[in-house]
Homo-oligomer: A and B are copies of this chain.
Amino acid sequence: MDLAYTAAEEAFRAEARAWLEANVPREPWPSGDTREGFALHRTWEKRLHAAGFAAVAWPKKYGGRDASLVEWLMFEEEYYRAGAPQRIAQNGIFLLAPTLFEFGTDEQKDRLLPRMAAADDVWAQAWSEPGAGSDLAGIRSRATRDAAGGGFRLSGQKTWCTRGAFCDWVFGLFRTDPAAERHKGLTYFMVPLSAPGVTVRGVGRLDGDEGFAEVFFDDVWVPDADVIGGVHQGWDVAMATTGSERGLTLRSPGRFTAAAERLVALYRSIHGQGTPVDTRVRDAVARAWIEAEQYRIFTLQTVTDVRDGRGLGAASSVNKIFWSELDVRLHETALDLLGERAELDDDAEAAGWMKGFEFALAGPIYAGTNEIQRNIVAERVLGLPRK
Residues of chain A whose beta carbon lies under 8 Å from any beta carbon of chain B: 276-283
Question: Bound state CA distance, A283 and B280, in angstroms?
Answer: 7
Give CA–CA (A278, B278) in the complex, Å: 7
Q: How far is the CB of A339 from chain B (nearest CB, A)?
A: 14
Q: Which residues of B contact A281 (CB under 8 A)?
A: 279
Could you say which residues of chain B place their CB within 8 Å of the CB of A276? Answer: 277
Smallest beta-carbon distance A29→chain B, Å: 38
Q: How near does chain B come to A52, taking the closest CB pair, in angstroms? A: 48
Looking across the interface, which residue of chain B has its beta carbon closest to that of A281?
A: B279
| Chain copies in the assembled complex | 2
A277–B278 CA distance with the chains assembled, in angstroms: 8
A284 to chain B, nearest CB (A): 9
Considering the complex, give the chain B residue whose CB is closest to the CB of A279.
B280
> With A and B bound together, what is the CA distance between A281 and B282 in angstroms?
12
Which residues of B sit under 8 angstroms from A279, Cβ to Cβ? 278-281
- On chain B, the residues within 8 Å of A280 by CB distance are 279-280, 282-283
Question: Once bound together, how far apart are the Cα atoms of A279 and B380, in whole Å?
Answer: 42
Q: How far is the CA of A148 from the CA of B280 in the complex (A)?
A: 72
Whole-angstrom CA separation of A51 from B283 in the bound complex: 51
Given contacts A277-B277, A280-B283, 7 further A-B contacts (CB under 8 A): A276-B277, A278-B279, A279-B279, A279-B280, A279-B281, A280-B280, A280-B282
A282→B283 CA distance, assembly (Å)? 13
A280 to B277, CA, bound (A): 10
Q: Distance (Å) between the CB of A282 and the closest chain B CB?
A: 8
The distance in angstroms between the C-alpha atoms of A323 and B280, with both chains bound, is: 25
Minimal Cβ-Cβ distance residue in B for A278: B279
A153 to B: closest C-beta gap in Å: 38
The complex places the Cα of A277 from the Cα of B281 at a distance, in Å, of 13
Contacts of A278 in B (CB 8 A): 279
Q: Which residue of chain B has the shortest Cβ distance to A283 in the bound complex?
A: B280
Chain B nearest CB from A257 CB (Å) reads: 24
CA of A277 to CA of B279 in the docked complex: distance in angstroms? 8
Once the chains are docked, how many angstroms separate the CA of A283 from the CA of B281?
A: 10
CB of A358 to closest CB in B, whole Å:
26
Question: A336 → chain B, closest Cβ, in Å?
Answer: 12
Residue of B nearest to A276 (CB): B277
6 smallest A-B Cβ distances: which pairs?
A279-B280, A280-B280, A280-B283, A278-B279, A279-B279, A276-B277
Interchain residue pairs with CB less than 8 A apart (9) = A276-B277, A277-B277, A278-B279, A279-B279, A279-B280, A279-B281, A280-B280, A280-B282, A280-B283
